[in-house]
Structure 1
Amino acid sequence: MDRDLDVATKTRTIEWLKTEVLEQMSRLFKALWDGSTSRVIDGLASLIASSYILGRRLGIPYKDLDHAIADKLAKMKKDGHQLEDHYGDLSELSEHIRKR
């Protein structure tokens, strides 16, 4: 019975975190619409934090997520992503992550 309760609690937590990610996305879009820099920063930070925590609840260590992001950026650069070609954003973010 305790195991069933534990599974149910974990499932509910994951479902709640999924709604948190959606809520943060909505807040970010509203902040973009309003043009509030501080609200955009807050929305982005909340979205990133919620995503990391959701990953952790799904069994993905933060360090593994960091490595996956770095790998994704490297692949996108290799594939000639437009943001890299025009602005160098992927290289800049890769460097930022590497220095953390």
Structure 2
Amino acid sequence: MDGRQNRQRCEVGESKCDLCEQHPGGTKRPAVEEEQEEPDETQGSTAAAAAEEQRKELERAMAVEEQRVEIQQRRRTEQMAYELERLEQHLQRWSNAC
């Protein structure tokens, strides 16, 4: 082998290693990632950042919901005002007819 640790099996055209000879269909080992696991401090700050992002997303969702409710209330108020105006017009026409 050539010392590379980012692969799981021997390449085509390469002589097989001991592990590939013993287990021709399997994999030798998990490939070694280029980036090793983060230290605990970095993981903690990553978790804090994720929690902060989740909090901001929740605040945005709440603001959108609040706007939706306000729009619905405004539409109801406008609809009631329109219906009241139409009722007044009908009553005015009815009183003029008598």
- Using the size of structure 1 for normalisation, the TM-score is 0.34
- TM-score, normalization: structure 2? 0.34
User: Which structure dedicates a bigger proportion of its chain to helix?
Assistant: 1
